[in-house]
Structure 1
Amino acid sequence: MDAAFELNSQPRTDILASLPKSKDFTAHLNQVSKNRAASSLKELYRYQNVPGMVVMAGGIPHPEVFPFESLSATILAPDAFPLDPPRVPKKEKSALLSWLFSAPRPTLNISIPKWAPKPVEPTTIQLSTSLQYQAATGPPALPLFLREYVSKIYKPAYADWDVLINNGNTDGWNKIVQLLFEKGDTVLVEEWTYPSAVNAFLPYDIQSVPIKMDSEGISPEHLEKVLSEWDEKAHDGRKRPKVIYTVPTGQNPTGATMEAERKKILYDIFAKYDIIIVEDEPYYCLYTGEWTPKGSKSDKSILAQREIDAEKKEGKEGNEAFIKALPPSYLYFDTEGRVVRLDTFSKTSAPGSRLGWFTANPLFIERLTRISEVSTQAASGFATALTTSTLQKWGFDGYIRWLRGVKATYNMRKTWICDAFQDTFHLEWDQAHVQGLFPNGSKTITCFSKQPKNRWDEKKGLNGPGLVTFTPPTAGMFVFLGVHLSEHPDYADLTRKGEDATHVLVQRLWTELADNLVLFAPGWYFDGGGEHAIGGKGYGYFRLSFSIATYEETYRAVHTFAKVLDKFFRLK
């Protein structure tokens, strides 16, 4: 292998010796999880690789009949993406291709043989084993790398954590539901949350308990209030929640990011009430920081600017700056083992690989393994072989450089969409009259039409009515915005007639946008069970993804949005 990762991938012994071991969380397991036994057939895997063992116990196909003699791929080099791409891209050759794809990028080749020369080494990848039946934990090479990654990036605060491969974060969360919840339980969620996470527990009659958010995510004050004042009678006899599902970085859909101080405060509250923290982090490495509007001067300190500049450097200094800039994981504060972290290769490699991993205490890892044995079993051999071979080719430092390039690419795309709003609308920062539209403390921008100012009456001000408010995201792939539906000419009449004016108008606007070939995700998809089911308070919400559209498509979509809004609000 060209750049093999370290075999000694656990933290150093002296560091581990100074850390506590995880608590016993057996009481948090549901009865089904407690009843699970190890798969009797899977127990055979512990013995079949013992040197000299004649394996005649399982119905295992012979690798000779596998039709794949080798598996080869051309992969991008870890430095294929620039760390500081230009704000405005070069002219695109096609509406389907961004400037990033118009020029050749450096590549490397990997090849996976059916039979490797040193098959017993833990880092060996060969098709004869990758494509074979195997334990639910998968081949050892990928966990070896992930333990090194978790140790160096997240720095868990207890000693006996481990990792387990899964089929991506959705699969991971489904298995956690099977691990921890009984029928009729409750679960804490953010007031805006990922809809597929909710869909996973709804069939179990599990009730979501939304916690209010501010600009950093979960509000500690509201969390404490909900937990300390829990009344089972007021919740149809349901017990106080024992699990929180949260997306701390680039929160889906709001884009909020939780920093260290807030995480520590929340961790202490969760520990006080014995809450298991499920930290779902698909956008963790896409933490990009704040958007700087065109033409504005940076208000960052000299030290902060030096850290930003360091991230743009090649080599060790740039890698270290990237790692330092990442928000700390809940694992960093977890001295008890109450955090179950979900990571995925979907946003940093390929969603179709269906490959991710848990980081958790040994009890949960063991029980999650039992769930995997009788459901998904091991992750795809093709996916693990290709992904692990790529990581081996890049090496640990190369993988960090790859993540830096991915981050820079999404930061560029975030800049495109925010710049498009700046060019298309008249923008005003932190409008007092939009309080309640977004979490308290958010740095909001309100968009006004660029129609001639003499069209507005005195009540609307020089810029007319505020049409849209959004908060520029600090991570992830989305802009979350609210439309000021209460400014619509029909809003008052619809309300007087007893209709849900917000519902009627947001549906009408979404349809008009789709008819004009712009598709946004309606905000009601992401309601965590609170007051946002459609809009509330005269606002309608949409989530815009900037992850895949080209520069030209991004600008066209925002310009179309502006034209539709002018017509929708009858401003022309």
Structure 2
Amino acid sequence: MAPPSKDPPNHQDADVRAVTDTPTVELPSALTCAGVPARRLKSGVFNGGVAAATSSEFFKSKSLWKPLANKWDHRLSKESKSRKASSLKGAAKYLAKPGIISLGGGLPSSDYFPFEHIEIRVPTVGQFSEEETKINGQDVRIGKHDVPEGKSAFDLAIALNYGQGTGSAQMLRFVTEHTEIVHNPPYQDWQCIVDVGSTYALDTLYRMFCERGDYVISEEYTFATAVETAAPLGVKFLGVKIDDEGLIPEDLDQLLENWDDQARGGRKPYVLYTVPSGQNPTGSTQGRVRRQEIYRVAQKHDLLIIEDEPYYFLQMQPYTGPNAPPAPLPATHEEFLNSLVPSLLKMDVDGRVIRMDSFSKVISPGSRLGWITATSQICERFIRNCEVSAQNPSGFSQVILHRLLDEHWGHAGYLDWLIFIRKEYTQRRDIILQACEKYLPKELASWNPPAAGMFQWIKIAVEKHPDFGKREVVDIEDDIFQASVGECVLLSPGSWFAAERGVKHTALFFRATFAAAAGPDMTEAIRRFSVALKRVFKWEENEQISV
């Protein structure tokens, strides 16, 4: 499959300014990694103390030429509209007043935090492999009082106390700068909120925009947890047809254009949940033009788009086949960023995209740290929910990631890490594709090379099963699943990812991941799956099966 189309390169990376009557110097743009130190100086004194009141507005570059986002009062749920600001959290803004002695909040003294310091060993930039980290990695020490001792902008005394619903000022600054470097949203009043991972964010967004009985639209096969998170809230999913590039905009438009409240048993949907890059489970990636078309349909029908992008930086090199040399990796940060399919957030002139980012797939799932980017209005309502639920991500996670990403690697080093991850996942993707080509019978199985993510979606020619038409497709699927387990291999049945539960299935798929097992184990797993598949279909080598 050809890689999705990309944006043309953006060469606006530097400002040229006169500093005397004659000479000029080239200063790095605020929208590049090199421009971060200068923009931080312009932001003034950094307030990152205990429970510091903070906002992305402190950390963004100034862009008054951009329009303001739309307002979304008409889309907020009754629950979201009813939320009030936390009086206790709100009082934290006074903690920054010089000389203040606080007896107001329930913030315990760090004297009683039983952690004097923690030490982590992390990769040196450019030496990212596990073996290189063991030999050449750097030991980073995080102390309880690093801030007053002038050693860091973040320490255990701050991180392990109560925080704000925005997340810590330190991590919020990093993700805000990162978001602007990568996406540069085209409206003024965007903000980021650091959250406890995307599943928590998704639950919050459903509560903000959906009432019981509402529908959320998604790809016809989608992230199972997204459906299962919505179900207890009384929110149903409705699937849109997909092709090799994911969600089909014409099908989305027709679904909404012909919506009948009475026939559907619910009002017209106005929330679209989509995973544009390396979609889970299908592995499809929406190209630039496809994303623009989906966005135009969203504008036509006034949809809010939840852009769930944990795999955005797992966009891989094009698949060149089993015998061809791999395509060269991007040589510079600019080349890397220009190689990425532009996000829906980057196209969002209205403020209708709520982007969910996560460190789960590029750092570690157990960090439970991610962030959303949305309009200031939506972020304010999001914070109101956080204040009385999760509050903020773990202080341990925030201080460790801050020390790694901000003070050890920096933005440039983080992009180097993401390029390294791209290389690793490209190699893993190629291994599983070569195993499929070697072991899976083409008469029974077909697949497309994924351009991003960590999943290989395999279509099974169920119509060639001896009992096709006599038994339900899900029963044949279960036979394959059980036979695979019998061969000691586990793949996920496609029906687990159906957006609409309880509907009759006419197609059969299995999802394999190339993220977890080692290369030889992946190859062996596909071989075992092939054995199970052939057994269920009563297929023998060199036997020609007709429909």
TM range (shorter): 0.7 to 0.9
Please tell me whether residue 262 in structure 1 is matched to residue 230 in structure 2. Answer: no
Q: Structure 1 residue 535: deviation in Å?
A: 4.0
Q: Structure 1 residue 138: deviation in Å?
A: 2.3
What is the correspondence of 1:96-115 to structure 2 with a 5 Å cutoff? Answer: 104=134, 106-115=136-145
Identify the match of residue 400 of structure 1 among 397, 407, 415.
Answer: 415
Identify the match of residue 329 of structure 1 among 338, 343, 368.
Answer: 343
Question: How big is each residue's C-alpha offset from its partner over 1:64-107, in whole Å with a ceiling of 9 and x where there is no partner?
Answer: 1110111211011232347xxxxxxxxxxxxxxxxx65995531
Q: Structure 1 residue 119: deviation in Å?
A: 7.6
Change (3 A) 1:534 1:355: farther
Equivalent residue of 2:87, what SS?
Answer: coil
Question: How big is each residue's C-alpha offset from its partner over 1:135-178, in whole Å with a ceiling of 9 and x where there is no partner?
Answer: 22222111111111111101211011010010011011011011
One-letter code of the match for 1:358? I
One-letter code of the match for 1:543? R
Identify the match of residue 475 of structure 1 among 428, 434, 452.
Answer: 452
Change (3 A) 1:218 1:68: same
Equivalent residue of 1:164, what SS?
Answer: strand
Question: How big is each residue's C-alpha offset from its partner over 1:307-366, in whole Å with a ceiling of 9 and x where there is no partner?
Answer: x5361x3xxxx2221111111111111111111000000001111010000100001111
Identify the match of residue 162 of structure 1 among 180, 191, 201.
Answer: 191
Q: Structure 1 residue 562: deviation in Å?
A: 2.1
Q: Which runs of 5+ in 2 are unaligned?
A: 1-33, 41-58, 541-547
Residue 226 of structure 1 corresponds to 255
Per mean C-alpha deviation after superposition, the further-off stretch among 30-39 and 416-425 is 416-425
CA contact 2:329–2:423 (8 Å) conserved in 1? no
What is the correspondence of 1:25-424 to structure 2 with a 5 Å cutoff? Answer: 25-81=72-128, 104=134, 106-118=136-148, 124-236=153-265, 238-295=266-323, 309=328, 311=330, 313=331, 318-391=332-405, 392-424=407-439
Per mean C-alpha deviation after superposition, the further-off stretch among 383-392 and 522-531 is 522-531
Please tell me whether residue 6 in structure 1 is matched to residue 21 in structure 2. Answer: no
Structure 2 CA distance for aligned equivalents of residues 388 and 549 of structure 1: 29
Identify the match of residue 561 of structure 1 among 521, 526, 529.
Answer: 529
Equivalent residue of 1:208, what SS?
Answer: strand
Per mean C-alpha deviation after superposition, the further-off stretch among 50-59 and 522-531 is 522-531
Please tell me whether residue 570 in structure 1 is matched to residue 547 in structure 2. Answer: no
Change (3 A) 1:364 1:286: same
Equivalent residue of 1:479, what SS?
Answer: strand
Q: Which runs of 5+ in 1 are unaligned?
A: 83-99, 299-307, 426-446, 449-465
What is the correspondence of 1:438-453 to structure 2 with a 5 Å cutoff? Answer: 447-448=441-442
Change (3 A) 1:117 1:148: closer
Residue 465 of structure 2 corresponds to 488
Q: Structure 1 residue 218: deviation in Å?
A: 1.4
Structure 2 CA distance for aligned equivalents of residues 33 and 20 of structure 1: 25
Per mean C-alpha deviation after superposition, the further-off stretch among 285-294 and 191-200 is 285-294
Change (3 A) 1:515 1:472: same
Q: Give the 4+ runs in structure 1 shifted more than 3 A.
A: 3-7, 9-12, 100-106, 117-121
Please tell me whether residue 522 in structure 1 is matched to residue 493 in structure 2. Answer: yes
TM-score scaled to structure 1, two decimals?
A: 0.81
Equivalent residue of 2:356, what SS?
Answer: strand
One-letter code of the match for 1:159? Q
Equivalent residue of 2:444, what SS?
Answer: strand
CA contact 1:7–1:144 (8 Å) conserved in 2? no
Question: How big is each residue's C-alpha offset from its partner over 1:274-301, in whole Å with a ceiling of 9 and x where there is no partner?
Answer: 1111000000000114322113589xxx
CA contact 1:4–1:393 (8 Å) conserved in 2? no
One-letter code of the match for 1:217? G
Q: Structure 1 residue 117: deviation in Å?
A: 4.4
Structure 2 CA distance for aligned equivalents of residues 519 and 550 of structure 1: 15
Structure 2 CA distance for aligned equivalents of residues 405 and 181 of structure 1: 39
One-letter code of the match for 2:141? S
Residue 508 of structure 2 corresponds to 540
One-letter code of the match for 1:108? Q
Structure 2 CA distance for aligned equivalents of residues 108 and 126 of structure 1: 18
Structure 2 CA distance for aligned equivalents of residues 223 and 331 of structure 1: 19
CA contact 1:61–1:132 (8 Å) conserved in 2? yes
CA contact 1:166–1:378 (8 Å) conserved in 2? yes
Equivalent residue of 1:64, what SS?
Answer: helix
Q: Structure 1 residue 17: deviation in Å?
A: 1.9
CA contact 2:69–2:189 (8 Å) conserved in 1? yes
Equivalent residue of 1:149, what SS?
Answer: helix
CA contact 2:317–2:422 (8 Å) conserved in 1? no
Structure 2 CA distance for aligned equivalents of residues 124 and 534 of structure 1: 56
Equivalent residue of 1:327, what SS?
Answer: coil
One-letter code of the match for 1:568? V
Equivalent residue of 2:39, what SS?
Answer: coil
Change (3 A) 1:413 1:211: same
Structure 1 CA distance for aligned equivalents of residues 202 and 284 of structure 2: 21
Size of the alignment, in residue pairs? 488
Equivalent residue of 1:115, what SS?
Answer: coil
Q: Structure 1 residue 422: deviation in Å?
A: 2.0
**C-alpha RMSD of matched pairs (Å):** 2.2
Q: Structure 1 residue 226: deviation in Å?
A: 1.0
Equivalent residue of 1:143, what SS?
Answer: helix
One-letter code of the match for 1:422? E
Structure 1 CA distance for aligned equivalents of residues 135 and 522 of structure 2: 24
Equivalent residue of 1:8, what SS?
Answer: helix
Q: Structure 1 residue 39: deviation in Å?
A: 0.8
Question: How big is each residue's C-alpha offset from its partner over 1:384-409, in whole Å with a ceiling of 9 and x where there is no partner?
Answer: 00001101210110000011111111
Question: How big is each residue's C-alpha offset from its partner over 1:490-513, in whole Å with a ceiling of 9 and x where there is no partner?
Answer: 335xx1xxx42x222211111011
Equivalent residue of 1:224, what SS?
Answer: helix
Please tell me whether residue 506 in structure 1 is matched to residue 477 in structure 2. Answer: yes
Q: Structure 1 residue 564: deviation in Å?
A: 2.3
CA contact 2:220–2:498 (8 Å) conserved in 1? yes
CA contact 1:172–1:342 (8 Å) conserved in 2? yes
